[in-house]
Amino acid sequence: MLSKKLTCAFSLLTCLSLLANTGQSGERVGDFALIDHTGAFQHMSWYNDQNAIVIVAHTPSDNETKTLSKLQKLKNEFSKQNVTFFLINPGLETDRSRVTADLERRKIDFDVLMDDAQLVSEMLGLTRIGEAVVYDPTSFEITYRGSVDSLESSVERLLDGGAGDFVTTAILGETITYDAVDAHKNLSYTTDIAPIIADNCATCHRDGGIAPFAMDSNLAVRGWSPMIREVVLTKRMPPGQIDNKVGHKIKNEMNLSDSEMQKLVHWINNGSQVDSEIDPLANLTWPETKWSLAGQIGEPDLIVKVPPQAIPATGVLDYRDIPLDLGLTEDRWVRASEVAPDKKEVLHHIITTVVPPEGRPDPQQMLMGLIDSLPEEKGNAVRAEIFAAVAGGNQGAIGNIIGKLLKENPSIGIGQILGGSNDLPQFAGYAPGNAVSLAPEGAGGLLRAGSSLSLQMHYTTSGKEVSDETEIGIYFYPEGYVPKERMAGGVGNDFDISIPAFAKDHQMEVITPITEDTDLYSLMPHMHFRGKRMKFMLEYPDGRDELLLSVPDYDFNWQLVHELEEPLRVPAGSQIRAIGSFDNSAQNVANPDPSIDISWGEQSFEEMFMGFYSWKNLDQSGGDD
């Protein structure tokens, strides 16, 4: 063995030689995204308005306080020069509460990227705890890798225009082990990779699917492998991912597991080798029916065609309200319904309302009745606001008045204003990823003879003139069978939206009261292009809080209903708090115009802030939902 003196001398020489290794181009590693210890989504390309990102490997077991103190000092100094700092936990600690407690104990202020799958740490070339990298969020290159001690000069060099220089220094610290790298050296396409694609990707990525290309063979997967690697590392795919490390287990979550991500990325990193002539993807078969519920409960009992809708090639289209006669001559109990969209490229969403034979309640009369139920002084004030809005021709302000009324009187639900009946079925609407309404066995709603549907249909133009012929399928219980239970639900909706121009993280919250003992079945966030994230907290009557669901990277293109794996018993007097934020900055690539203030509106370039909930009241004897 070398003596300690020789070891130190060797380390010093290595450090000096590496410091001299400048003038090379930066090491390109690519874009990536991770969820931090607070549950926030951190996507590196979103920081393209920053000059640099500093990332340092850390774990709560690291006892090096001097390094962290120096790093905190550097953060305080360089953050004024648009340098963002992160710690990263390279899969050595997955308990976020322990990470949070460690930061509080050390009294340091950092967001910790939770790299549970270790793929980002591996990609960044981190080998030891305490090792730092300087990352360029515009080129996705690393310009420095080494100790925190030499970090300051490297960041200064980058700020002075030396972004093309690549510097490395030696680092001492706990070794980071990457067991999956060795374990995945000889992955089999047939037994390791194809099953992941079949289970998580091929349903959409197939001939006739909604995805833009098919992954129906090893040749296709190999050809698309660079993109597959990118969308896995940035969490773009699978779509609609939730934070499945917190909250309640979701039945229909679309996340890849840490192991599945590791296998895909390592197989691609190792050259996307195919080990057999057998190709499981080429042998996949798909139902010929357009109805996704067919495999579970059969074909629909009644199929209703929406009249053909002519969609122009360009322009902004108003919402269309389309009545749909069902032709029912007898009462029928509904178990499920589904929308089969025709032209998915233009059909943005459908909101379906059941209209009973006598017609739907007048929302204005319902609103006035609720105002009459308020204390006289408060009721008069609300009436005066509505009158002033109407007299001034400012009809849009009425939504804000209703929003304010709901905020100040949380016991009033928006469902009470819209009206409804306990027996009406919950009907499927449509948005990408959301086209089905299926009640639990033994629960359902009544479609009375003469009932109809009212469809609020929103189309967007695609550059090509088309005609849309969407269909709706309805599944009935057998004639004479009356389900014993009814589904119910609620909507949290805030009309009072005011998002400043260029705001990166405009936060909002809306509360939905639970007035009866219920079993909660599902939750759904709804915002538009500027929606950034939303989480749902359940506040019990005794004040306890419980996280139900976190959607850290909200995507307007995927309006998903998140179903709890097991219904959650919620006592009366509880409330669901939907907490979210909007990104009206230029960093939001979906933002039509970051320079304008945003208010509530129906169009996609305006905004909404809503939480939709499905529950079943324990008391099924009747009463208000």
Residue 367 forms part of a structural domain: no
Q: What pLDDT is stored for residue 16 in this prediction?
A: 32
Single residue among 158, 177, 196 that ends a domain in this structure: 177
Collapse the DSSP code of 349 into the 3-class scheme (helix H, G, I; strand E, B; otherwise coil) and give the result: strand
CA 160 to chain centre: 38
Residue 468 forms part of a structural domain: yes
313 and 457 share a domain? yes
Residue 220 forms part of a structural domain: yes
Q: What pLDDT is stored for residue 287 in this prediction?
A: 84
323 and 471 share a domain? yes
200 and 274 share a domain? yes
172 and 210 share a domain? no
CATH number of the CATH domain containing 578: 2.60.120.230
**Cα–Cα–Cα angle for 611, 430, 302, rounded to 5 degrees:** 125
Q: What pLDDT is stored for residue 24 in this prediction?
A: 42
Rounded Cα–Cα distance for residues 103 and 107 (Å): 6
Residue 12 forms part of a structural domain: no
Three state DSSP letters for 138-206:
CCCEEEEEECHHHHHHHHHHHHCCCCCCCEECCCCCCECCCHHHHHCCCCCHHHHHHHHHHHHCCCCCC
Give the residue numbers spanning the domain of 573. Answer: 487-625
168 and 35 share a domain? yes
87 and 148 share a domain? yes
572 and 604 share a domain? yes
402: left (phi over 0), alpha (psi -120 to 50) or beta: alpha
For residue 115, with 0-12 CB atoms within 10 Å meaning exposed, 13-18 middle and 19 or more buried, which class applies?
Answer: buried
Residue 172 forms part of a structural domain: yes
Residue 584 forms part of a structural domain: yes
270 and 311 share a domain? no
Residue 7 forms part of a structural domain: no
307 and 226 share a domain? no
Q: What pLDDT is stored for residue 157 in this prediction?
A: 83
61 and 78 share a domain? yes
Structure tokens at 196: 């992941």
Single residue among 238, 254, 283 that ends a domain in this structure: 283
472 and 606 share a domain? no
Residue 239 forms part of a structural domain: yes
Rounded Cα–Cα distance for residues 81 and 66 (Å): 24
Q: What pLDDT is stored for residue 55 in this prediction?
A: 98
Rounded Cα–Cα distance for residues 420 and 423 (Å): 9
- List own/partner pairs for 160-165 with CB under 8 A and 24 or more apart: 163/26, 163/136, 163/139, 164/25, 164/26, 165/22, 165/23, 165/24, 165/26
Single residue among 233, 250, 283 that ends a domain in this structure: 283
27 and 120 share a domain? yes
- pLDDT tens per residue, range 324-370: 999 999 999 999 999 999 998 899 889 898 999 987 666 666 677 77
Count of structural domains, the chain? 4
Q: Which residues of the chain are modeled with pLDDT < 70?
A: 1-25, 162-165, 360-366, 389-390, 392-400, 402-422, 622-625
